[in-house]
Amino acid sequence: MKNLLIVTGGSGGHVIPSISLFEHLKNTFSVKIVTDLRGSKFIDNTKYNYELLDVPNLFLKPYFFPINIFKYFYKIIESLSFLKKNKINIVISTGGYMTFPFCLAAFFLKKKIILLEPNSVLGRSNKIALSFSNKIICYSKDLRNFPKKYTSKKAIIDPILKKQIYKIKKNSTNYKTKISKVLVIGGSQGASFFDEKVTELIIKISKKHKFDVVQQISNKNSIPVIKKKYNEEGINFNFFQYNYDDSEIYDGVNFAITRGGAGTLSELSFLNIPFLAIPLPKAKDNHQYYNSDFYHVKNCCWMINQSDFEINKVSNFIFNIFNDYEIFCKKIHNLEKTNKKNNWNTINKRIIEIINEN
């Protein structure tokens, strides 16, 4: 049996796909996970064993660069030791600066390296590691910032989703009822903008349309304030905080307001939930914009820039969405076409094929 290492860290956008990968691979290979402190908060340690290896961000605080570069080289040595000790055959990296020491260590030891890029833009760590990796798993053949000379390394696959997602009832094109449940989700990074502005938006549109809201709150201190506002307006609500086991938030949802994280958009898309995307404007390489645009050009969603967000303007926009069931159903139909081949068994078979390729 081959020994696999999944190395991940940082945001949920990196870590959560690694957990889904683990679920796909655990019955075929011997699989371990390594993450950093930031990434560990997205892993349930009662369900998944993982090793911690914190890697300094070389460019976060430039005045610490001399010390951090020394620490970074030490982490490469630790990575070499880990791979040898655990007799790792294949390293799978989900991107992020934390993963790079393991990629380098695997290269020095001549181990197979497979990258995962769920975004529509090639990440910076993955772009550097691409030159000495064997394969890169991605969801689109038109990955932005991808060097053409490495095209042969691409392994295209439908989005890798949590296993629980496949058990949730999807929206149907036979949709004939009013929108009754709205999901507000900012993703693993949270969104104070959503806590403030989207809360105002929900209150505004609730004055004309009655619906329940399921909302991620990024700042715990905001919960009492938002709760008070919703109670005063008679809005039925349920608050949650982002984690891996939050698939139940999608139950019965007709419409969503979201950022542009690849994982969240893939889940909404698979469940045929039309959504309004408001990409994080400061996301690296503007990847949230391009993640959202991937669905927008297929007429699967709506999208606005945060800089264009104005309560009256956006509320009128959403009133039109709520009232035009024909356009709404068209979105559902397009989402169905986008995800018609995505199922657990097909994805599982494809991932194992990629790993076993010479």
Nearest to 309 by CA among 279, 269, 288, 282: 279
In this structure, the answer to whether residues 204 and 262 fall within a common structural domain is yes
Give me the DSSP letters along 253-274: --EEEE---HHHHHHHHHTT--
Q: How far is CA 36 from CA 3, 41, 189, in A?
A: 20, 9, 16
Range of the domain at 141: 3-161+342-356
Tell me: pLDDT of 175 over 60: no
Tell me: pLDDT of 140 over 60: yes
CA-CA distance, 118 to 11, in Å (whole number)? 13
In this structure, the answer to whether residues 176 and 294 fall within a common structural domain is yes
Q: Hey, how many other C-beta atoms are within 10 angstroms of the C-beta on 86?
A: 14
Tell me: pLDDT of 316 over 70: yes
In this structure, the answer to whether residues 69 and 187 fall within a common structural domain is no
User: Coil, strand, or helix at residue 144?
Assistant: strand
**Mean pLDDT throughout 65-88?**
87
pLDDT at 53: 86
Average pLDDT of the chain?
Answer: 90
In this structure, the answer to whether residues 193 and 275 fall within a common structural domain is yes
Q: How far is CA 13 from CA 10, 57, 78, 111, in A?
A: 8, 17, 25, 25
Tell me: pLDDT of 308 over 80: yes
* Band of pLDDT at residue 190, cut at 50, 70 and 90: low
pLDDT-above-70 percentage for the chain: 94
Tell me: pLDDT of 341 over 80: yes
Would you say 79 and 105 are in contact if contact means Cβ atoms under 8 Å apart?
Answer: yes
Give whichever of 27-31, 61-65, 173-177 has the largest mean pLDDT. Answer: 27-31
Tell me: pLDDT of 88 over 80: yes
In this structure, the answer to whether residues 136 and 243 fall within a common structural domain is no
Q: What pairs with residue 7 in β-bridges?
A: 34, 93
Query: Taking the mean position of all CA atoms in its chain, how far away is CA 244?
Result: 10
Q: Which residues does 228 contact at the CB level (< 8 Å), separation at least 6?
A: none
CA-CA distance, 40 to 16, in Å (whole number)? 10
| Least confident segment among 97-101, 131-135, 171-175, 273-277 | 171-175
**Mean pLDDT throughout 112-120?**
96
Largest CA distance in the chain: 63
CA-CA distance, 169 to 265, in Å (whole number)? 17
Tell me: pLDDT of 104 over 90: yes
CA-CA distance, 305 to 333, in Å (whole number)? 25
Q: How far is CA 154 from CA 39, 134, 195, 314, 318, in A?
A: 26, 9, 38, 39, 38
CA-CA distance, 93 to 105, in Å (whole number)? 12
In this structure, the answer to whether residues 71 and 145 fall within a common structural domain is yes
* Band of pLDDT at residue 58, cut at 50, 70 and 90: low
CA-CA distance, 308 to 8, in Å (whole number)? 34
Would you say 184 and 256 are in contact if contact means Cβ atoms under 8 Å apart?
Answer: yes
Instruction: Pick 227 or 324 by higher pLDDT.
Output: 227
Tell me: pLDDT of 348 over 70: yes
| Least confident segment among 64-73, 103-112, 224-233 | 64-73
Tell me: pLDDT of 17 over 80: yes
pLDDT at 219: 85
pLDDT at 84: 97
Give whichever of 14-18, 49-53, 272-276, 283-287 has the largest mean pLDDT. Answer: 272-276
The residue type of 43 is I
Give me the DSSP letters along 192-220: HHIIIIIHHHHHHHHTTS--EEEEE-S-G
Would you say 300 and 265 are in contact if contact means Cβ atoms under 8 Å apart?
Answer: no
**Mean pLDDT throughout 138-163?**
94
Tens-digit pLDDT profile for residues 219-257: 888 899 999 999 999 999 999 887 656 788 999 999 999
Instruction: Pick 161 or 72 by higher pLDDT.
Output: 161
Nearest to 263 by CA among 248, 243, 239: 243
pLDDT at 60: 65
* Band of pLDDT at residue 12, cut at 50, 70 and 90: confident
Q: Give the helix ranges, DSSP H, for the chain.
A: 12-25, 37-40, 65-85, 100-108, 124-129, 192-193, 199-206, 223-233, 262-270, 287-296, 311-323, 325-338, 344-356
pLDDT-above-90 percentage for the chain: 66
The residue type of 102 is F
Would you say 330 and 299 are in contact if contact means Cβ atoms under 8 Å apart?
Answer: yes
* Band of pLDDT at residue 192, cut at 50, 70 and 90: confident
In this structure, the answer to whether residues 115 and 171 fall within a common structural domain is no
In this structure, the answer to whether residues 135 and 245 fall within a common structural domain is no
Tell me: pLDDT of 13 over 70: yes
User: Coil, strand, or helix at residue 135?
Assistant: strand
In this structure, the answer to whether residues 92 and 143 fall within a common structural domain is yes
- Residue 99: which CATH number? 3.40.50.2000
Nearest to 205 by CA among 332, 322, 328, 329: 322
Tell me: pLDDT of 59 over 90: no
Q: How far is CA 193 from CA 89, 186, 190, 255, in A?
A: 44, 9, 9, 19
In this structure, the answer to whether residues 144 and 176 fall within a common structural domain is no
Each residue of 149-184: b (16+ CB within 10 Å) or e? eeeebbbebbbbbbebbbebeebeeebeeebebbbb
Report the domain count for the chain.
2
In this structure, the answer to whether residues 140 and 169 fall within a common structural domain is no
In this structure, the answer to whether residues 193 and 86 fall within a common structural domain is no
